[in-house]
Amino acid sequence: MKTIKNKTTQETHPLFPSGTWEGFYTYQMGPDAGQHAMAFSLNFKDEIITGNGSDDVGGFSWRGAYSKEGLVCTMTKAYATHTVDYQGNVDENGIWGTWTLDWMKGGFHIWPKANAENEVAKEVKKMEIKG
């Protein structure tokens, strides 16, 4: 008799969508911190995060874990020359938190690209209805 392994699919929780993401990191905290753009893909499956992308430092890959119950994630962003640890909280606006590298740290905020596009579409629709 053959045993059929349970194949899991992509995460279905709405706050952890696999696909294209974007966002920024900062070298300091607060409203005056300069934002450094990131563009990348993330895959959420079985509480594991993987992905890759690029920013002003260079190309990188992601590896980490997420919790649907705690709405948190921890990720490592690996460049060819070094790694950066990210710890974040998850809500309807994406993932936000703190990154650390040796003695340096800063903030970050990332979100699914589809969310940004949907928000623009909603605003356009509101303007059309008013106009």
Which residues does residue 20 pair with via DSSP β-bridges, in sequence order?
41
Task: Return the CA Rg of the chain.
Answer: 17
37: Cβ contacts below 8 Å, ≥ 6 apart: 22, 23, 24, 55, 56
Q: Identify which of 9, 51, 23, 12 has the alpha carbon closest to the alpha carbon of residue 115.
A: 23
* Full set of structural domains in the chain with CATH: 19-130 (2.40.128.120)
Alpha carbon of 90 to those of 23, 71, 86, 94, 121: distances in Å?
Answer: 14, 5, 12, 6, 23
CA 88 to chain centre: 9
pLDDT in tens, the chain (131 residues): 444 455 557 899 999 999 999 999 999 777 778 999 999 999 999 999 999 999 999 999 999 999 999 999 999 999 999 999 999 999 999 999 999 999 899 999 999 997 655 554 455 455 455 55
Predicted structure pTM score:
0.80
